């Protein structure tokens, strides 16, 4: 049995490890490119190891544009991302509970409406939405980027619904017998059981808001308010020189916060109600 | 019932929290930029006195730095003015400008492009600057009349060119030398072109990149002019020619030379779209193309010497002409006072010596001949090569074509599609030529309404 | 734990239990609306007006720069009768959805299954496998992908090790370029993988313990317990990834530099829509395109929901 277990373990590490290299190669290349001279990135593309190691890309990249450094962009991105994430996760949890556990009039209709909103490409809603926020004099503020998140995000609502669906209704019933109302059940029974779904939503929300460039592009005018993805695109102007070195360097840099969040949260992601999981 | 009310209250509270959260968070982001010695943002901060002018442009990191420096210089001389600057890279700028136009939020002063400005002028979004030219706010004394005219349409001065450039071919002189060709003559013809490139390919086994493979409209414009036509008719409601034979040569050439191996295979160039992964820069191709001002970035990216020459002529007809590399325009909806002040800024960009020393040839060859001499004196050999070349074309050109009409971007996209289809041998040059005329005219017919 | 899973099964069979719970709460109508109120408020405040506006605009001629003019069904008629690019982009998108979505899901599930095996390294592995998804549609992808699939890219280098002499540029060749985009979609399988993982962890251990007692083999456990218990999550991922793939934009935008080249092989529907709306200034046509897409995606999703009863376990 132990020999079998050992063999299994070795096989696991071999397969997963080998595959990890394939998964990682592009990322490694990106990191290596961030330390290469701008011209080397394309000239000497095949080698993972920079022929001449330079920190120049990080320096010029961090400097940003017109005296606005990446510290500003980082700060802007963090503010928008954190607010959006808090908003969308809290709202999504509430809405998901409403849709999955409570039977109310027109529920199916609203649910269908909700799913439909997800299917319309954002590019066409953006302009009418832009005009709407412009009427409210809210363009060039972060409100149009953050406010809609407080309505919840369909993806998370639907995701959390799936997890609530997996919780036996008898638990609700038992809590009811103990004197809990709908709200009590939500807080005491449901929330503790859907922590993995909530954490998953948090990570996704953070990631998706973090990398979004289209809405910030439309809504934010002053470069001092730009977010990181928007700033990253500014290194590349096809009509003149593009600073690919700086692009790579700052792309790597922009991965750091998301990666930290992921690494920090990933324990909670998978420690669900059944802590022991699948055992062979 | 109490629960419901408290539930609603909670939700309302949540929303108010967001709103207050927003207004309080916008201030720290301002303060960080202020503390990072942001020249641009400090101007927004002390906007208490005087007028705020919104300026926007597209470009690279260098252009942003230089433009901001010039605007700061202007502000130091005119303390009653402050700026709100917005800048992005090219494609993002276009998307943003269109969105701003949709809500009448265009900046007061903004950079415009020869290729798409008519879309805006036709909707009455851009101001006529003639009166500022007349009252001397914008001084064209040292600017060639042909160049001034490139900012005009229908007798109105909608834009002021900030610099000029022209179409050109870039090549690697070392590769050409190996084939026994020392220097290419600006006055060469298509016959020379075919012969020389074939020669170079045979001797060095290095292929050439087709001229203007990504924006074949620039090539089409020249080819059509070489035969005495214009790409678009006067009012932009159809093409300026009806015979497919006018446009066919450019399709025929890409087919023939690609088949012969003289041109790089299309699957290589179909997705290569930046200077840095261009074949000429990487040393895998003997030629490439670009606006004359792009030569500098090509040389910088390649790290070796590159040369510039004209798009070949049809016999003695060159077809090439200088164009504004970019222009400044003013929002029609801005107040008269702002318009006048913006016009003053434009003049500063084209005529001020100090500004010129900052900008150099960042926006192409300066339009004012006086400024051009100053900048030339400060330039290195590569820049001088560009100056000489642009001046050569300026001397040998016919009158420039007018602005591309509305919906031209769709026509260009059709042309690019067909060009690529011919290169991939999916369609014959004959079919491509007639299909182009048919599709282009259908698109342009929309302008007749 | 044991009690929970035991009652879980009983509740499946007894419909009377459900109605009993329902009768416990008299004012569910109100409670329901309280809980969905954030979404409902947002729907009315930010979403419904723009959606209706885009529907309205699809019946007009609107170029962003001047006021819309009503033109009735013109946009739709043109789309179906005289727009080869519409069909081309629809075709590209369908191929993309049909291949990329199942591949990504199978991949994600397989990896998630492997990750349930406990080792000290699992945290690290999980992070590594998730990393590609963090890159998203960043501009860096454009360079990265050319590096992988270009003429002198890593794929050709690997092929040459196996004696295949390939000098094609996988991205630039219209026959293979979509494949590289599909690989990109599959490569970024992190989000469905995480959801699968979370789902796998939610399966009560007691079920496996019971199966162990019965002496079930691993594959039996997979098909009898894991797969059925996971069907709600599989369903979720299937629906969400399908919608995502239908409306995906950034990746093809970045890789083809916004053009859909070569020969429109990367012209995904949303990219075409974007080009129409923002590059060619035909916002109204873009809106019409969007509503046709909505119809296509809506029907697809409805079909998926209709099949739900057949294979999805529980609600």
Residue range A9-18, pLDDT digits in tens: 888 888 888 8
Q: How far is residue B313's CA from residue B167's CA, in Å, rounded to a whole number?
A: 12
What is the mean pLDDT of the segment spanning B169-197? 93
Q: Which of A126, A181, A237 sits opposite B3 (nearest CB)?
A: A181
Contact with chain C for residue A29, Cβ under 8 A: yes
Which residues, numbered 249 to 308 in chain C, qualify as contacts with chain B under a Cβ-Cβ cut-off of 8 Å?
Answer: 255-259, 261-264, 275, 278-281, 283
Radius of gyration for the alpha carbons in chain A, expressed in angstroms and rounded? 23
| B4 with C30: Cβ contact below 8 A | yes
List of chain B residues whose C-beta atoms are within 8 Å of the C-beta of residue A239:
90, 291, 294
Query: Chain C within 8 Å of B413 (Cβ-Cβ)?
Result: yes
B268 vs C34, C65, C169: nearest CB: C169
CB-facing half-sphere around the CA of B69: CA atoms within 13 A: 14
C-alpha distances (whole Å) from B364 to each of A178, A256, B100, B304 are 79, 39, 27, 21
Give φ, ψ of C11 to 5 degrees.
-65, -25
Nearest CB among A132, A173, A278 relative to C200 is that of: A278
**Which of A:223-252 have CB within 8 Å of C?**
229, 232-233, 235-236, 238, 244, 247-248, 251
Cα separations (Å) of C54 from A10, C51, C176, C283, C294? Answer: 57, 5, 35, 9, 12
- The predicted structure's pLDDT at residue B34: 34
- Kindly list the residues from chain C whose CB atom is less than 8 angstroms away from the CB atom of residue A107: 32
pLDDT band of B43, cuts 50, 70, 90 = very low
Q: What is the mean pLDDT of residues B159-182?
A: 93
Asked whether residue B32 carries a pLDDT value surpassing 70, the answer given is: no
Residue numbers in A near C137 (CB within 8 A)? 211
By the CB < 8 Å criterion, does B99 face chain A? yes
Using only C-alpha atoms, chain B has a radius of gyration, in whole angstroms, of 25
Look at B426 and C255 and tell me if their CB atoms are within 8 Å: no
C256/chain B closest Cα distance in angstroms: 6
Q: Residue A44 and residue C300: Cα distance in Å, rounded?
A: 46
Sign of torsion over alpha carbons C81, C84, C89, C90: positive
pLDDT for A39:
73
Nearest by CB to C36, which of A99, A126, A272?
A: A99
Can you give the pLDDT at residue B38?
A: 37
| Partner residues linked to C102 by β-bridges | none
State residue A240's pLDDT score: 66
Measured in degrees and rounded to the nearest 5, phi and psi for residue A53 equal: -80, 125
Is C53 an 8 Å CB contact of chain B?
Answer: no
In this predicted complex, what is the ipTM? 0.85
Which of the pair, A1 or C271, is modelled with greater confidence?
Answer: C271
Tell me the three state secondary structure of residue B326.
Answer: strand
Phi, psi of B260 (to 5 degrees): -75, -10
Write down the pLDDT at residue C6.
36
| DSSP-derived secondary structure for C228-280 | HHHHHHHHHHHHHHHHHHHH--HHHHHHTTTTT-STTTT--HHHHHHIIIIIS
pLDDT of residue C10: 39
Q: Is the pLDDT of residue A185 over 80?
A: yes
Contact C168 B267 (CB under 8 A): yes
C281 neighbourhood in chain B, CB within 8 Å: 98, 119, 406-407, 409
Q: Residue C25 has what pLDDT?
A: 52
Cα B352-B356-B357 angle, rounded to 5 deg: 125
Res B76: pLDDT: 94
Residues of chain C with pLDDT under 50: 1-15, 315
C5 at interface of B, judged by CB pairs closer than 8 A? no
Distance from CA of A246 to the nearest CA of B (A): 10
| pLDDT given for residue A270 in this prediction | 60
Nearest C-alpha in A relative to B107:
A221
Closest to A233 measured CA to CA, from A245, A221, A247: A247
Work out the average pLDDT over A205-224.
91
3-state secondary structure of C10: helix
Interstrand relation of B51-58 and B109-112 (parallel, antiparallel or unpaired): parallel
Query: Which tokens hold the place of C105?
Result: 């899901």
CA distance B272 to B256: 21
Whether B45 has a pLDDT exceeding 70, the answer reads: no
- Label residue B12 by pLDDT band (50, 70, 90): very low
Q: What is the pLDDT of residue A41?
A: 79
Shortest Cα–Cα distance, B22 to chain A (Å): 6
Q: How far apart are CA B303 and CA B97, in angstroms?
A: 35
A&C contacts, CB < 8 Å: 318
DSSP C44: I
Calpha distance B160→B348 (Å, rounded): 12
* Interchain CB distance below 8 Å, A98 and C34: yes
Its pTM stands at 0.87
**Rounded Cα–Cα distance for residues B195 and B221 (Å):** 23
pLDDT in tens, A90-141: 999 999 999 998 888 899 999 999 988 888 888 778 888 888 898 888 989 9
Chain C residue with Cα closest to A173: C21
Neighbours of chain C (3+ CB pairs under 8 A): A, B
| 3-class DSSP assignment, residue B83 | strand
pLDDT (0 to 100) of residue C12:
41
Mean pLDDT for the stretch of residues B302-311: 92
Put simply, the answer to whether C208 touches A278 (Cβ < 8 Å) is yes
B318-371 confidence digits (pLDDT tens): 889 999 989 999 999 999 999 999 999 999 999 999 999 999 888 889 999 999
Burial per residue of A240-276, b for 16 or more beta-carbon CB atoms within 10 angstroms, e otherwise: bbbbbbbbbbbbbbbbebbeebbeeebeebbebbbee
Kindly identify which residue of chain A lies nearest to residue B92, measuring between CA atoms: A217
For residue B5, pLDDT over 70 is answered with: no
B27 touches chain A (CB under 8 A): no
> Residue ranges of the alpha helices (H) in C116-176?
122-135, 140-149, 154-161
Q: Parallel, antiparallel, or unpaired: how do β-strands B287-291 and B167-171 relate?
A: antiparallel
CA distances from C181 to A27, B57, C149 (A): 17, 33, 10
Put simply, whether A254 touches C (Cβ < 8 Å) is yes
């Amino acid at each position: 049995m132990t020999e079998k277990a050992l063999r299994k373990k070795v096989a696991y590490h071999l397969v997963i490890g080998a595959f990890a290299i394939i998964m990682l190669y592009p990322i490694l290349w990106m990191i290596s490119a961030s330390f290469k001279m701008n011209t080397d990135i394309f000239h000497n593309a095949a080698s993972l190891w920079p022929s001449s190691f330079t920190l120049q890309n990080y320096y010029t990249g961090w400097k940003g544009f017109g005296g606005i450094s990446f510290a500003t962009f980082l700060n802007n991105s963090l503010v928008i991302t954190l607010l959006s994430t808090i908003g969308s996760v809290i709202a999504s949890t509430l809405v998901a509970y409403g849709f999955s556990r409570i039977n109310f009039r027109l529920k199916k209709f609203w649910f269908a409406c909700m799913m439909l909103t997800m299917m319309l490409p954002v590019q066409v809603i953006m302009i009418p939405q832009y005009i709407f926020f412009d009427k409210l004099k809210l363009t060039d503020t972060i409100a149009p980027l953050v406010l809609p998140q407080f309505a919840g995000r369909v993806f998370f609502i639907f995701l959390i619904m799936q997890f609530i669906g997996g919780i036996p209704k008898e638990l609700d019933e038992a809590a009811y017998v103990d004197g809990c109302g709908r709200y009590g059940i939500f807080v005491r029974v449901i929330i503790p059981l859907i922590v993995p779904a909530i954490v998953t939503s948090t990570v996704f929300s953070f990631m998706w808001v973090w990398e979004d460039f289209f809405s910030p592009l439309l809504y934010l005018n002053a470069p001092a308010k730009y977010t990181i993805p928007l700033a990253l695109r500014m290194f590349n102007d096809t009509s003149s020189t593009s600073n690919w070195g700086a692009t790579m360097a700052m792309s790597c840099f922009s991965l750091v916060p998301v990666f930290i969040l992921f690494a920090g949260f990933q324990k909670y992601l998978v420690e669900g109600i059944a802590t022991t999981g699948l055992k062979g | 019932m109490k629960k419901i009310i408290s539930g609603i209250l909670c939700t309302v509270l949540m929303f108010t929290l967001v709103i207050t959260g927003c207004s309080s968070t916008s201030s720290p982001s301002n303060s960080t930029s202020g503390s990072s010695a942001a020249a641009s943002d400090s101007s927004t901060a002390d906007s208490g006195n005087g007028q705020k002018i919104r300026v926007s442009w597209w470009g690279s990191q260098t252009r942003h730095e230089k433009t901001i420096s010039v605007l700061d210089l202007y502000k130091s001389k005119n303390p009653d003015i402050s700026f709100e600057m917005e800048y992005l890279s090219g494609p993002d700028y276009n998307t943003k400008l269109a969105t701003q136009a949709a809500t009448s939020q265009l900046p007061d002063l903004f950079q415009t492009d020869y290729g798409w400005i008519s879309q805006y002028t036709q909707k009455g979004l851009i101001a006529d600057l003639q009166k500022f030219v007349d009252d001397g706010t914008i001084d064209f004394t040292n600017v060639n009349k042909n160049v001034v005219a490139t900012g005009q349409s229908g007798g109105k001065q909608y834009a002021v060119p900030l610099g000029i450039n022209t179409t050109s071919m870039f090549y690697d002189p070392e590769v050409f030398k190996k084939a026994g060709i020392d220097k290419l003559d600006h006055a060469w013809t298509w016959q020379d072109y075919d012969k020389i490139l074939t020669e170079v390919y045979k001797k060095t086994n290095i292929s050439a990149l087709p001229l203007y493979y990504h924006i074949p409209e620039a090539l089409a414009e020249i080819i059509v002019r070489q035969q005495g036509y214009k790409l678009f008719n006067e009012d932009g409601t159809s093409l300026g020619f009806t015979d497919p034979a006018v446009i066919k040569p450019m399709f025929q050439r890409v087919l023939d030379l690609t088949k012969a191996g003289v041109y790089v295979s299309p699957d290589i160039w179909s997705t290569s779209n930046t200077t840095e992964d261009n074949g000429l820069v990487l040393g895998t191709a003997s030629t490439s193309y670009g606006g004359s001002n792009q030569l500098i970035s090509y040389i910088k990216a390649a790290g070796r010497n590159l040369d510039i020459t004209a798009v070949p002529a049809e016999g003695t007809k060159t077809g090439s002409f200088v164009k504004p590399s970019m222009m400044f325009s003013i929002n029609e909806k801005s107040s008269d006072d702002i318009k006048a002040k913006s016009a003053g800024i434009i003049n500063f960009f084209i005529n001020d010596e100090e500004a010129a020393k900052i900008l150099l040839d960042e926006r192409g060859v300066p339009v004012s001949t006086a400024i051009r001499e100053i900048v030339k004196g400060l330039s290195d050999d590569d820049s001088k090569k560009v100056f000489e070349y642009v001046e050569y074309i300026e001397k040998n050109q016919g009158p420039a074509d007018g602005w591309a009409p509305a919906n031209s971007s769709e026509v260009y996209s059709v042309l690019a599609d067909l060009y690529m289809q011919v290169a991939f041998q999916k369609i014959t040059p004959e079919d491509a030529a007639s299909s182009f005329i048919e599709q282009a005219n259908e698109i342009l017919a929309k302008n007749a309404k | 734990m044991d009690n929970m899973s035991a009652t879980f099964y009983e509740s499946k069979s007894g419909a009377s239990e459900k109605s009993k719970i329902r009768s416990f709460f008299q004012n569910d109508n109100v409670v329901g609306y309280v809980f969905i109120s954030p979404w409902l408020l947002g729907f009315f405040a930010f979403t419904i007006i723009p959606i209706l506006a885009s529907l309205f605009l699809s019946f007009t001629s609107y170029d962003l720069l001047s006021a819309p003019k009503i033109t009735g069904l013109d946009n739709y008629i043109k789309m179906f009768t005289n727009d080869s690019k519409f069909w081309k982009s629809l075709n590209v998108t369908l191929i993309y959805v049909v291949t990329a979505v199942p591949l990504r899901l199978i991949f994600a599930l397989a990896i998630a299954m492997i990750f349930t095996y406990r080792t000290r390294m699992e945290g690290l592995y999980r992070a590594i496998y998730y990393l590609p998804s963090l890159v998203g549609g960043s501009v860096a992808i454009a360079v990265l992908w050319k590096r992988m699939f270009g003429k002198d890219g890593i794929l050709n280098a690997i092929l040459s090790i196996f004696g295949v002499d390939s000098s094609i540029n996988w991205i630039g060749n219209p026959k293979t370029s979509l494949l590289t985009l599909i690989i990109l979609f599959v490569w970024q399988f992190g989000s469905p993988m995480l959801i699968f993982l979370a789902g796998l962890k939610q399966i009560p251990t007691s079920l496996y313990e019971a199966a162990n007692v019965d002496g079930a083999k691993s594959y039996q456990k997979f098909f009898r317990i894991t797969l059925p218990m996971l069907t709600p999550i599989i369903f979720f991922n299937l629906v969400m990834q399908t919608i995502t793939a239908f409306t995906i934009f950034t990746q093809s935008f970045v890789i083809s530099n916004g053009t859909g080249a070569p020969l429109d092989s990367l012209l995904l529907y949303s990219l075409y829509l974007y080009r129409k709306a923002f590059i060619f200034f035909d916002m109204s046509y873009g809106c019409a395109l969007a509503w046709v897409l909505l119809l296509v995606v809506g029907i697809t999703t409805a079909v998926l929901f209709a099949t739900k009863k057949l294979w999805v376990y529980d609600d």
